[in-house]
Amino acid sequence: MRSFRLFAHMSVLLLIGQAASAQVALKPSSMRKVADVDERYVSYNIEAVEVTGGRFWKPYSKEVDELLSKPPKALGDQAVGTDPALFQYRSAIDLTNPKLRKLAAALGPAYLRVSGTWRNFTYFQDDDLPSQKPPKGYNGVMTRAQWKGVIDFSKAVDAGLVTSVAISPGTRDAAGLWNADQTRSWLDYTKKAGGKIAATEFMNEPTFPGPGGAPEGYNAAAFARDVGVFKQFLRQESPGTVFLGPGGVGEGVSLGPAGMPLPRTISSEEILKATGPVFDALSYHFYGTVSKRCAAGMGPGAGIKPENALTPEWFGKNLAVEEFYAKLRDRYLPGKDLWLTETGEAACGGDKFASEFVDSFRYTDQLGTLAQKGVKVVMQNTLASSDYGLLDEDTLNPRPNYWVALLWKRFMGTRVLDPGVAKTDTVEVFAHCAKGKAGAVTVLAMNMDKTAAHSLSIPAVSERYTLTAPDLYGSSLMLNGKPLETLPDGAVPEIRGESVKGGVVELKPLSISFFRIDGAKNDACR
């Protein structure tokens, strides 16, 4: 009996040794550089309609669910092409709110993009009077005071301003030609108010010209003509501004079911052929699908169900679209950078689960994979509006994706490394030079397995920061097992890690972990 026990004990030890040897051993000291990203890589949008006040996507509620359960109405909102009942009026966002500023500042440095479909139709009221009725050819008004609020906010939170300009009928002459008068007034005031435009697109999403407010029959040649005027104006009036474009969307993957008719489109390739190499960087927008709000009118197969939010097929759409635009860049703008200037879980305000922990795995995957591809900037839509906002628009409390963005800002530097670990359906590993310390490396590991823990072998001491949630479909998060919440005044709490000895580390089911390895001594990070 004793010999049997001894044999069994030795067998267990042998199995443990075999399991340990089978571990993927990370080598942070020798991870090679694969790309560099902008220091403002993790960025966000505030829609122009939030700045002016107006109708934007109504958050999900019992009322919205009832609307979506009924047969869709005829399309009645030409600006975006969906049921007007799925929008609600919002007053202009209060950009002086101390809590909003503290939370946004914690994500600095960043880019703040003020654009969206509504920007195409927005008139700049160049006086100090209260907002007036928009002139003919515009749907909204932005006052000096409102734009000054954006400028002051951007300075307070270290966010470089990115935008686009009005292109609706009010900006055009009798022949339909775009002129720069409105844009000149807006840019002149920006300079007077102490602002600076870091980068701009011409119009928001020219690939859908009709919903975007372009003249009837607008095509690639017309866009190229307009862009020629705009670029000459921009180079004269703001030569340091990065000219982004075209800013296409809805390409690379379909936003709706196969065979479903969409509004008339102009392809980004048609645009790039017509414009020539006028852009300083190629910008694009990406949504893997439309939210339940828009999917309700598209028939079976539209949208995504929450239970499919952790699948390789869902995550794969992000890289398929990056590859689509990277090929266009290589063909028409060789050597130029890629900027993703608008993205989120789904178009049309996002699904309800966009505000829940389950979507943080998509967001983390997107940040990690696009950084490896060298995409310079990723701008989440939005900071604090509708269901895909990083913050709840009523309470301004952080949602799970906010905490992912915050930890990325704290620990992931601009140099992207090859972690030397193959991606699986349940585990992904990314690595960057750590922010703020020469030679240090941060490893980001994601376990999407709902029941089983997985593990990695990290040979050096590290500081661990693990995000988990009591409920995958909830908005409450834990950091290393403790509730993660803002302080009473809205400030971000002190973010403390757990010291982990070198060796095998466990990745809990449904967890996102950052491991900062200060002693990595990686030459690529010096």
Which residues 6+ apart lie within 8 Å of 66 measured at CB? Answer: none
The secondary structure of residue 73, as a DSSP letter, is P
Alpha helical stretches, state H, 278-430: 292-295, 312-332, 358-372, 400-411
Q: What is the Cβ-side half-sphere exposure of residue 285, based on CA atoms within 13 angstroms?
A: 28
DSSP string, 143-185: EHHHHHHHHHHHHHTTEEEEE----SGGGB-TT--B-SHHHHH
**What distance in Å separates the CA atoms of residue 526 and residue 523, rounded to the nearest whole number?**
5
- DSSP 8-state assignment for residue 116: S
Contact 78, 211 (CB under 8 A): yes
CATH 2.60.40.1180 for domain 23-35+417-525: yes
Question: Across the strands, what pairs with 111?
Answer: 160
Say which residues have a Cβ less than 8 Å from residue 465's Cβ, sequence separation at least 6: 407, 411, 479, 480, 495, 497, 498, 513, 514, 515, 516
Report residue 99: phi and psi, to 5°: -65, -45
- Per domain, the residue ranges of the chain are 23-35+417-525, 36-414
202: DSSP letter: S
Does the domain at 36-414 match CATH 3.20.20.80? Answer given as: yes
Q: Which of helix, strand or coil describes residue 186? A: helix
pTM of this prediction exceeds 0.85 = yes
pLDDT value at position 77? 35
Tens place of pLDDT for every residue, the chain, 526 residues? 434 333 333 333 333 333 333 457 899 999 999 999 999 999 999 999 999 999 998 888 888 888 787 765 543 333 334 677 888 899 999 999 999 999 999 999 999 999 999 999 999 999 999 999 999 999 999 999 999 999 999 999 999 999 999 999 999 999 999 999 999 999 999 999 999 999 999 999 999 999 999 999 999 999 999 999 999 999 999 999 999 999 999 999 987 766 566 678 999 999 999 999 999 999 999 999 999 888 876 766 778 999 999 999 999 999 999 999 999 999 999 999 999 999 999 999 999 999 999 999 999 999 999 999 999 999 999 999 999 999 999 999 999 999 999 999 999 999 999 999 999 999 999 999 999 999 999 999 999 999 999 999 999 999 999 999 999 999 999 999 999 999 988 899 999 999 999 999 999 999 999 999 999 999 999 9
Check if the beta carbon of residue 342 is closer than 8 Å to that of residue 115: yes
